Amino acid sequence: MKVSVLGASGRAGSEITKELAARGHAVVAIARKPDAIPAAPGVTPIAGDASDPAALAKLIEGSDAVISALHFDVPAETLLTALKTAGVARLLVTGGAASLEVAPGVRLIDTPEFPEEWKTFARGGIVFLDALRGEKDIDWTFFSPAAVIEEGPRLGHFRTGEDQLVVDDKGESKISFADYAIAMVDELEQHKHSRARFTAAY
């Protein structure tokens, strides 16, 4: 497939870009600082600002899918407008974990343990997901990571879920950026969560 990756120089975006390239996909890797995009066969680095939907549409035109690894300061509406203008039907989003349920009706962000300083950013992810849930034309997927996503080894195994936080036998929820990238590209190829959210953790 030809896949455009937004935020391809970031921690999640760079791992997703490398995983796509390793599986033989053609990658249009878009970032404000293209020099920081990992070099790999099949990867075309491009300087771009995703906050301008008209300009973004020109960059992603001809792609089979777009994977966004952007922060939530770029609204869902901006990306959806760009995809519709470009004629790209599929969007996969690096989401947030805050809206995952830890108990029926109780989200991670609602727990006392959730750091106060993370809440503004986390609410951006919740607003983004809510906007996607109202979208009827673009085939979207929102991939919430584990509660903790960090640098770490590429283990190649994890467990997936949908709207509930996935935890291990110690009650911890973690995944590395490398394994998150595997799960993202698996979803691109297998298309199991159309217009839905899913999550993954060890």
At which residue do the structure tokens 């301008």 appear?
52
- Collect the ranges in the chain with pLDDT lower than 50: none
81 alpha-carbon distance from chain centroid: 18
Which tens digits make up the pLDDT trace of 128-146?
999 999 999 999 999 999 9
pLDDT at 41: 96
At which residue do the structure tokens 């760079």 appear?
14
pLDDT at 164: 98
pLDDT at 8: 98
Q: What is d(CA 60, CA 87) in angstroms, rounded to the nearest whole number?
A: 9
Which tens digits make up the pLDDT trace of 174-195?
999 999 999 999 999 999 999 9
pLDDT at 51: 95
* DSSP secondary structure of 143-196: EE--SEEES-------EEESSB----TTS--EEEHHHHHHHHHHHHHH---TTE
Question: Based on the number of CB atoms within 10 Å of its own CB, is 35 exposed (0-12), middle (13-18) or buried (19 or more)?
Answer: exposed
